[in-house]
Every structure is written in C-alpha cells, then in structure tokens.
C-alpha cells in the first residue's frame, strides 16, 4: 500500500491533472519507477523517451504514439523538460514534425505548432548527466499557455520558417533561423528521407524536420513561473 499511485485513466479536469503532477514533485525517478513497477535503464542513451513515458504513466496520459494532445479531452500537452540545478533547460523542446509539402493555405492560426502549444503541462526533471538516472528528481509542474508576447514570437518564427519551406528553401534552413522556434532534423538517422519542395518548385527528398523550442524561450517561461509567481 503506497500513498502515491499512478493515474489509471486520464484526469477529468485540468485541476486534477495539476494536482497529480504536484504530488510527484520531489520524488526521484527511481522511486516513481519502483512504485509503478518499471525497470529503470542505466542511462538514456538507448531510452531517450523514457522519462516522458514514465510521467505519462503517472499522469494517466494515453501512452505514446497518437498525433494528438496527451490529454485530448482537456486540450493539454505534456512536456517533460530536463533542467540544471538552477532550473534552466538543458535541451531544446521538440514540438511537432514540420510539414514540408501540402502547405497551401496553412496559417499560424491553423498550424500544428500553435495547436500543440496552446496549453502545456511542463514537468521539469533534473537532467544533469552526473546525476544517476534513478536519483534525478521531478520538479514542480507548470500549467502554461503562451501569453501575447510569446505567441507573437512563435508566430513570427513559424512564418519565417514556413515561408522558406513553401518557397523551396528548406535545405537552406539551419537551427540558427528563428529566435525562439527552430527547425532541425527529426529522424531515425541522417539517411531517412521525406518529400519536400525544391528551389525550382520540383519535388525533392530531404531529411524530415521538426519544430523545436529554443532554450531561451522555455527558460524564460519557467523562470517567469518560479521566480515571479506570487
């Protein structure tokens, strides 16, 4: 009998979701894995998504592979984010795959990026590699929606990147484009190919890409919560 137990079903309200996430704060990944009866890998080299899946289990998200929000009924996306001892992000945050074709008529308002980021439950987790995986602790969660400034930043970057994609410039995009949102490879390896638009408007094959939030953006939203919240 343990006082803390994973949710077996998706929580029926945002408040219940947040409450469960708040209960996990301070526990180590080893403790949460043990209670849930999960084996813990020695590191994340071959289990990069393990922490995300552990938190999905604890919070009652329908696990894994659906192109929907993690809590579809609540319209909430779950993101675990590795942080250093100061609470600053150690990695960028994957948002969604970038559509490289069929983009006629797509706008920021109808974009997958905007939909995914409309409401996010951020769960910081200690991520320094010197800390054994089992000893890393879960931090206090943050239920977030972009404010007007954040949405504006995201929209500007998204529009710049999508313009380049539509105009056949995808292979000229690097991770340096975008102030808060970047486009980077998102694939099994560098040999994976997908269809895109070439410089002359012709179909080409290129590496699949994903949209990622840069650390300045996620760092600022975490800081706003943990430093400026009353």
Partner DNA sequence: GGCTGATCATGT
Partner DNA sequence: ACATGATCAGCC
> Footprint of DNA on this chain (CB under 7 A)?
43-49, 51-53, 55-56, 64-67, 70, 77-82, 91-92, 94, 96-97, 125, 127, 129, 174-176, 182, 184-195, 207-208, 210, 214-215
Overall residue count recorded for the chain in this entry: 230
Strands (E), 20-172: 77-83, 93-97, 120-126, 142-144
Q: Which is nearer to DNA, 1 or 188 (CB)?
A: 188
Estimate the crossing angle of helix 148-166 against helix 215-228, to 10 degrees.
170
Q: Which is nearer to DNA, 152 or 172 (CB)?
A: 172
**Nearest approach, Cβ of residue 151 and DNA (Å):** 20
Q: Which is nearer to DNA, 80 or 146 (CB)?
A: 80
**Nearest approach, Cβ of residue 1 and DNA (Å):** 29
Which DSSP state fits 42? S
Q: Which is nearer to DNA, 2 or 85 (CB)?
A: 85
Q: Which is nearer to DNA, 168 or 210 (CB)?
A: 210
Question: Which residue in 166, 160, 171, 167 sits closest to 209, CA to CA?
Answer: 171
User: Given the DSSP bridges, would you call strands 194-197 and 203-206 parallel, antiparallel or unpaired?
Assistant: antiparallel
**Nearest approach, Cβ of residue 83 and DNA (Å):** 9
**Nearest approach, Cβ of residue 204 and DNA (Å):** 13
Alpha carbon distances (Å) from 212 to 19, 99, 191: 28, 14, 21
Which residue is associated with the tokens 């994957």? 94
What sign does the dihedral 144-222-213-62 (CA atoms) show?
negative
**Nearest approach, Cβ of residue 159 and DNA (Å):** 18
């Amino acid at each position: 009998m343990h006082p803390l137990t994973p949710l077996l079903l998706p929580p029926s309200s945002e408040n219940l979701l947040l409450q469960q996430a708040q209960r996990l704060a301070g526990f180590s990944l080893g403790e949460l894995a043990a209670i849930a009866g999960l084996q813990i890998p020695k590191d994340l080299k071959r289990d990069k998504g393990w922490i995300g899946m552990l938190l999905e289990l604890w919070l009652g998200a329908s696990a894994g592979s659906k192109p929907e929000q993690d809590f579809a009924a609540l319209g909430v996306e779950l993101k675990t984010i590795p942080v250093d001892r100061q609470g600053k992000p150690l990695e960028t945050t994957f948002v969604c795959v970038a559509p490289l074709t069929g983009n006629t008529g797509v706008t920021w308002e109808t974009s997958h990026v905007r939909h995914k980021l409309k409401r996010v439950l951020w769960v910081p987790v200690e991520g320094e590699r010197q800390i054994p995986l089992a000893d890393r602790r879960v931090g206090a969660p943050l239920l977030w929606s972009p404010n007007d400034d954040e949405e504006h930043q995201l929209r500007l970057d998204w529009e710049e990147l999508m313009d380049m994609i539509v105009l056949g410039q995808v292979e000229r995009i690097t991770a340096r484009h975008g102030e808060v949102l970047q486009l980077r490879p998102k694939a099994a390896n560098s040999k994976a190919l997908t269809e895109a638009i070439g410089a002359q408007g012709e179909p080409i094959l290129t590496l699949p890409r994903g949209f990622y939030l840069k650390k300045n953006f996620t760092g600022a939203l975490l800081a706003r919560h943990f430093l400026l919240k009353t």
